[in-house]
Amino acid sequence: MIEINYLHIGIDDTDSPDGMCTTFLASQIINLFEDNGIELVDYPKLIRLNPFARFKTRGNGGVALKILNDDKAELARSIVLEEVEKLSMFDCDNTNPGVIFYEGEITREMQDYAFRAIYEFITIEEAEEFGESIGCEIHKFKKGRGIIGSIAAISLPLADYTFELLAYRDSENYGTERQIDHASVYRMDKETYPDTFENIDYSEDYIAIEPKTPCPVLYGIRSNIPEALQRAKDIVQVNEPIVDWCIFKTNQHTDMHIQKASRISDMKQFGCYEVVGTVKNKPTIIDGGHMFFYISDGSGEIECGAYEPTKNFRKTVSHLRPGDVIRVYGGIGEQKTFNIEKFQVIELNDVEYKNPVCECGKRMTSAGRNKGFKCKKCGRRIESGKKVPIKISRSLKNHWFYETPVSARRHLSKPLCRMF
């Protein structure tokens, strides 16, 4: 049996908040590969890393390309490095590109590293040491922070995955309003859902395929199957040039960032988890529109937040009450608050305890500490000071999931349409 040798290419941290996109850079590399007879093995990969990492690119995603390690591999290396030099946003202090080349099979220790990059925080020094230990050819630009995501991008196994078609704008239009026919996006969603998803936030009349940053991306359509993406692209109408487009295989919308925590005390800052807890207090809203409450278990408690961008999701959260048992999904940010992406009701507290009702029909009041209850209407008294349980109606439902709207969804968060 002939053993096939591959060259894995990882690229990350080439963009900035003001422009560029590592996927666009990758699409330009792919075009040059095609011009030179270099074929990709499988789709290019777009891998999103820990959304709560302290230092990250705009979408915190690295790109991986896989080709045959043959007589054109050296040319491929040159093309990649030249394009990174040419297109990266070096003027931005926080743009620190990294490129790695790796020959051979992806090992278990490399997969473990990739999951660490999604779950935890890895330093540049740790990534460089690991890359050297497995035989990576490492190229750092400026600080080279991109090597962290580059190694993770080539190493991550994709048991669950989605696809995204990204269409790119002419550079003359960067920073201007995107000329997308919104009516055609609604039509595309109607004709391709559920093969495509996250196209529109109907509750906010929000076109979710359209970025709000001055990057090269004109729009991005997400799907469970790549065949649906070409059909979707044909439906969406735009009034500006599309200079290129590319389909990526990705870990977006897989909940790959979520770890199961047995206890609240096991969770760490900047990590992403699912954990079960009991609601301690009624959710309250503060100036700015953010909503907070606490959950607890036998090991401790943590503050949970539903932030203003989650819009009507906060109304759903407001229906929680003390005693409800819920499973929350999300991550712990800078303020050590658990940012909720979705939650499942495990058990609702549908009982309230109230003062007893007198025989005359009037609800009684306290007669004083340890003195039972009295009726202000007829004067009757009872010695027992115990309140009585009253079953109440709840708008939330046991075992149901509730999620943030599409407009506030994180790249990695798995929507309910992919869960059931």
Q: Where are the alpha helices (DSSP H) in 293-371?
A: 313-318
- Integer CA distances (angstroms), 349 to 98, 338, 418, in order: 51, 22, 29
Cα 150 to chain centroid distance, Å, stands at 19
CA distance 417 to 420: 6
Q: Is the N-terminal amide bond of 194 cis, ω within 30° of 0?
A: yes
Phi, psi of 333 (to 5 degrees): -95, -160
Cα separation, 149 vs 164, whole angstroms: 19
Q: What is the pLDDT at residue 205?
A: 92
DSSP 252: T
Q: How far apart are CA 134 and CA 113, in angstroms?
A: 11
pLDDT score of 17: 77
Phi, psi of 388 (to 5 degrees): -110, 145
Nearest residue to 61 via CA among 249, 341, 267, 245:
249
What is the Cα–Cα distance from 307 to 317, expressed in whole angstroms?
11
Q: In a 3-state reduction of DSSP, which class is residue 388?
A: strand
Which amino acid, one-letter code, is at 44? P
* Predicted local distance difference test score (pLDDT) of residue 265: 98
Which two three-digit tokens encode residue 168?
A: 């790119």
Question: Mean pLDDT per 10-residue run, the chain (420 residues)?
Answer: 84 87 96 98 96 70 96 98 95 92 96 95 95 98 96 97 98 95 98 97 94 94 97 98 98 97 96 97 96 97 97 97 98 95 98 94 93 94 93 96 95 95
| Residue 7, CA distances (Å) to 70, 103, 225, 274 in order | 9, 5, 26, 36
* SS3 of the chain: helix, strand, coil, percent, to 5: 25, 30, 45
- Per DSSP bridges, beta strands 338-347 and 300-306 are parallel
pLDDT for res 4? 78
From the CB of residue 298, how many other CB atoms can be counted at a distance below 10 Å? 9
| Pure H helices in 88-223 | 108-119, 124-134, 146-155, 182-192
Within a 10 A sphere around the Cβ of 385, how many other Cβ atoms? 14
- pLDDT for residue 31: 98
pTM of the model: 0.92
